[in-house]
Amino acid sequence: MNENKKSPEESSSVSDENLPGILSILPVLDMTLFPRMVLPLLVWQEESKRLVDDAMGKDRVIGLIVSKKKKSDGPYKAEDMYNVGTSAMILKMAQSDEKGIQILVQGLSRFEVIKYTQTEPYLRAEIKPVSNTVEKDMEIDALTNNLVGMFKSVLDLSPYLPKELGALVKSIDEPGILADLIASSLNLSKEEKQSILETYDVKKRLKNVHGLINRELQILKLGQKIQSQVKQDIDKSQREYYLRQQLKTIKEELGEKDEKSVEVEEYRAKIEKKGLPEEAKKEAERELNRLARMHPSSSEYTVASTYIDWLTTLPWNESTKDNLNIPKAQKVLNDDHFGLQKVKKRVLEYLAVRKLKPDTKGPILCFAGPPGTGKTSLGRSIARALGRKFVRISLGGVRDEAEIRGHRRTYVGALPGRIIQGIRRAGSNNPLFMLDEIDKVGSDFRGDPSSALLEVLDPEQNFSFSDHYLDVSFDLSKVMFITTANLLDTIPPALRDRMEVLELLGYTDDEKIKIAKRFLIKRQIEAHGLTKDLIRFSAPAIKNIISGYTREAGLRNLEREIASVCRGVAREVAEGKKELTHIKVNDIHKFIGPVRFFSETGIRTATPGVVTGMAWTPAGGELLFIEATEMKGKHELTLTGQLGDVMKESATAALSYIRSNAKALGVQEDFFDNHDIHIHVPAGAIPKDGPSAGVAMLTALMSMLKQKPVIADMAMTGEITLRGQVLPVGGVKEKVLAAHRRGIKQVIIPKWNKKDLEDVPRDVVKSLRFHFVDRMDTVVKLALGTVSVK
Ligand code: ADP
């Protein structure tokens, strides 16, 4: 930067006219001296020092010429120099250090080199002074005014120019000097300055400087704009930062710690104490460091702290110790549940294996059966027997994979999936985890939850289960999973493969009475604040509740009705009754209203054309009545009762079989030419499907055609072929149990299904008369008694 200043007083005694014809030339690298300006110079080259010394001894006048060289390497040569320079007077000289001397020079006038007369020990040249040609006119006035104005603006914007320059510039009335002063003040390259020096014509010089100052102004304005924008941005965040910092300092001064840092410290301690696995610890610390930089009221802060909460409260290392005392476990299971021998046996086997080989992977059991058969409560009891924590989640209606696996943290309000939530609730990493209603998992555009469940249930994968929210894997391999289902068919095959299915069939009336006496009544008495001395149920009363008020495979409604009775008694006790209430058959309607279900089989099948079929639903076995009737018409077949396609086809097949074998079956052959047939299956509002009613439909048609009612307490199931064969069907066990509950005495089932009876309780099998059939003609004969078939 040139620190040019106009000399305070015109002390020079040398003028253009008496300038010597030959000048010693001091080369300078990049400092341009303009006439009248003062410039400090550091002289350190030997030949230059000698030049200054010599000049000081004489008239102190030297010539300054800028070198074209980019840097000073070695002595300057004549050809390196520009042709135009400034003559100068050395005002002061001082030794700066051992290397160089400091001189202060003042410019006198421009000159041109005519020729160099000497190069050793320093350059000397014959010169010709150049005088400025000035002719003041209006244009020059305008240019000078303009320049002064613009220079003022430059001064306002520029951080490096002293403001006093403004007043100085104003006071100069020589346009050429003004141009020189401004040029020397601006941030110009040495070439630009040299070109101003070489412009002798004042008007031209003013114009050139005008151009340069204009450019400088633009640059300064742009710079300022950028600066102010950056400053604005910084200001906003800095302001907040400063305020917060101040607040922190004030609090510290007052001896209070701010809430956030307390919280951050707490989290840090928690992470340390918890002993998280490496991966989780890294993630927790990363989030904590982010948290420390956030404002506590920001939403991100809450997200981060919730996440750390999750990481630090999950039971990564906490586990419970299994109770491997088998007789004790057996006692717990028997104390809680009646029967269910197969399941109990399997659980005890599992315990035995764990005792012998502790690191075995647990099986994944699936309890399948109708509602109310004790699947959930059995799970709870197994947990108690094993000494494990129990958690249960219901998968009914889960369609979104994220419900199992959680949402990524980038979602607003994201949380871990149900598995991880369940684990946290359990508080141990080896709970008994019950996945209820696994058969009701759906899938749609939100992804397939069953694929996530596969990962959960696969012992090969679940040691590193990944939840989207946690983002670090959790080891589920110690968890004992038990699933429950009503139906096995709707479970995706891959999932079903991983599970060991244990069927819970439903209970017979006798079993229900026993369970009620031993468990349900006791539990309800307690739940209603009663005691054995205040209420007692008679056995016939319990039986009456079961047959008259419930129609189910499980025990839900029975328990509910018992609860209703207990409620009624509790009210009487609360109103002051002190003596024992003995619930007998006749008292029941007082508490739970009139009887809801009658044994209707005999009554409904009393007319020809009605047959009792056996159906199977997710709620267990059921009886259904198939009705057939004929009317005048043109062999139309009408089917009603919300029948599915398969069931409709069975009906058509049954009719076709009869028509094609009409003669042999003793049916009038032209009967169908002038009759319509209608088959109806009540209850009409409930959808029904499946092939297993084929046998019953054919029998109903035969009974109608023969005008002969079927045997009253007989029920049947089986699929038929067009050739009259009877094929096996599913759900026979549940169907048989249902028939037994409803008072049926004879059952017709396909021969192939005989093996299914093995799982049906002995007393049920004993109390029924079974007919195993493989041909339709046998069925008809059995049901109607007399028909002979070819
Ligand atoms: P699910 O889960 O199969 O629908 P729950 O476990 O809810 O059935 O059982 C319904 C009720 O019946 C519960 O109160 C349960 O304790 C009781 N229960 C079911 N089976 C038995 C049994 N074998 N012994 C004792 N109580 C039973």
CA of 380 to the centre of ligand 1 (A): 10
| Nearest atom, ligand 1, residue 556 CA | 10
Q: Residue of the nearest CA to atom 20 in ligand 1?
A: 374
Beta bridge partners of 113: 127
User: What's the average model confidence in pLDDT over 246-256?
Assistant: 76
Amino acid 228: pLDDT: 82
| Nearest atom, ligand 1, residue 555 CA | 12
Amino acid 433: pLDDT: 92
| Nearest atom, ligand 1, residue 378 CA | 6
Query: Is the minimum distance from the CB of 339 to ligand 1 under 6 angstroms?
Result: yes
**Preceding peptide of 683 cis, ω within 30°:** yes
Handedness of CA 654, 660, 664, 666 (dihedral sign): positive
Amino acid 64: pLDDT: 92
Question: With bands split at pLDDT 50, 70 and 90, how would you rate the model's confidence at 435?
Answer: very high
User: What's the average model confidence in pLDDT over 164-192?
Assistant: 87
User: What's the average model confidence in pLDDT over 430-443?
Assistant: 87
CA of 377 to the centre of ligand 1 (A): 5
Active-site entry in 6, 692, 703, 733: 692
User: What's the average model confidence in pLDDT over 102-130?
Assistant: 89
Beta bridge partners of 485: 368
Pocket test for ligand 1, best of 342, 505, 519, 558 (most atoms within 8 A of CB): 519
Query: Is the minimum distance from the CB of 337 to ligand 1 under 6 angstroms?
Result: yes
Q: pTM higher than 0.75, yes or no?
A: no
Cα torsion for 58, 63, 66, 71, to the nearest 10°? -20
Amino acid 257: pLDDT: 65
Helices (H), 676-760: 694-706, 732-741
Using CA atoms, how far apart are residues 402 and 489, in angstroms rounded to an integer? 24
Amino acid 553: pLDDT: 84
Using CA atoms, how far apart are residues 145 and 245, in angstroms rounded to an integer? 51
Amino acid 258: pLDDT: 67
Per-residue pLDDT tens over the stretch 266-312: 888 888 888 888 888 888 888 888 888 887 778 888 888 888 888 88
Per-residue pLDDT tens over the stretch 454-503: 888 888 888 888 899 988 889 888 888 999 998 888 888 888 888 889 88
Using CA atoms, how far apart are residues 587 and 654, in angstroms rounded to an integer? 48
Using CA atoms, how far apart are residues 381 and 685, in angstroms rounded to an integer? 38
DSSP letter for 30, please: S
Structure tokens at 488: 């096995």
Query: Is the minimum distance from the CB of 338 to ligand 1 under 6 angstroms?
Result: yes
Structure tokens at 372: 């109310």
Amino acid 88: pLDDT: 92
Per-residue pLDDT tens over the stretch 671-718: 888 888 898 988 767 777 888 888 999 999 888 888 888 888 889 999
Using CA atoms, how far apart are residues 265 and 272, in angstroms rounded to an integer? 11
Amino acid 209: pLDDT: 92
Q: Residue of the nearest CA to atom 16 in ligand 1?
A: 377
Using CA atoms, how far apart are residues 667 and 658, in angstroms rounded to an integer? 8
CA of 216 to the centre of ligand 1 (A): 91
Amino acid 5: pLDDT: 40
Residue entry with tokens 């920001």: 298
Amino acid 12: pLDDT: 41
Considering 191-195, 494-498, 506-510, the range whose residues carry the highest mean pLDDT is 191-195
Q: Residue of the nearest CA to atom 9 in ligand 1?
A: 374
Amino acid 441: pLDDT: 83
Residues 6+ apart with CB under 8 A from 375: 367, 369, 436, 484, 504
Amino acid 106: pLDDT: 92
Per-residue pLDDT at 16 exceeds 60:
no
Pocket test for ligand 1, best of 381, 555, 566 (most atoms within 8 A of CB): 555
Which amino acid, residue 541? Answer: A
| Nearest atom, ligand 1, residue 373 CA | 3
Helices (H), 575-607: 588-592, 601-604
Residue entry with tokens 């396609």: 645
Structure tokens at 461: 């994968």
Percent pLDDT > 70 in the chain is: 95
Per-residue pLDDT at 362 exceeds 80:
no
Per-residue pLDDT at 643 exceeds 90:
no
Per-residue pLDDT at 641 exceeds 70:
yes
Handedness of CA 155, 156, 160, 163 (dihedral sign): positive
Q: β-strand 610-617 against 620-632: which pairing, if any? A: antiparallel
Query: Is the minimum distance from the CB of 39 to ligand 1 under 6 angstroms?
Result: no
CA of 366 to the centre of ligand 1 (A): 16
- By the 10 Å C-beta count (0-12 exposed, 13-18 middle, 19+ buried), 69 is classed as middle
Amino acid 86: pLDDT: 93
Amino acid 13: pLDDT: 45
CA of 374 to the centre of ligand 1 (A): 3
Cα torsion for 223, 228, 231, 233, to the nearest 10°? -110
CA of 436 to the centre of ligand 1 (A): 14
Question: With bands split at pLDDT 50, 70 and 90, how would you rate the model's confidence at 4?
Answer: very low
Amino acid 63: pLDDT: 93
Q: Residue of the nearest CA to atom 24 in ligand 1?
A: 337
Considering the chain, what is the average pLDDT of its residues?
A: 85
Residue 599 or residue 538, greater confidence:
538
Q: How far is CA 758 from CA 98, 387, 410, in A?
A: 118, 34, 55
CA of 174 to the centre of ligand 1 (A): 113
CA of 596 to the centre of ligand 1 (A): 23
Query: Is the minimum distance from the CB of 340 to ligand 1 under 6 angstroms?
Result: yes
Query: Is the minimum distance from the CB of 514 to ligand 1 under 6 angstroms?
Result: no
Using CA atoms, how far apart are residues 177 and 35, in angstroms rounded to an integer? 8
Amino acid 15: pLDDT: 55
Query: Is the minimum distance from the CB of 559 to ligand 1 under 6 angstroms?
Result: yes
Q: Residue of the nearest CA to atom 25 in ligand 1?
A: 337
Length of the chain in residues, anyone? 790
User: What's the average model confidence in pLDDT over 410-428?
Assistant: 89
Pocket test for ligand 1, best of 377, 524, 566 (most atoms within 8 A of CB): 377
Residues 6+ apart with CB under 8 A from 356: none
Q: Is 735 noted as a catalytic residue in this protein?
A: yes
Using CA atoms, how far apart are residues 161 and 154, in angstroms rounded to an integer? 9
Per-residue pLDDT at 45 exceeds 60:
yes
Per-residue pLDDT at 651 exceeds 70:
yes
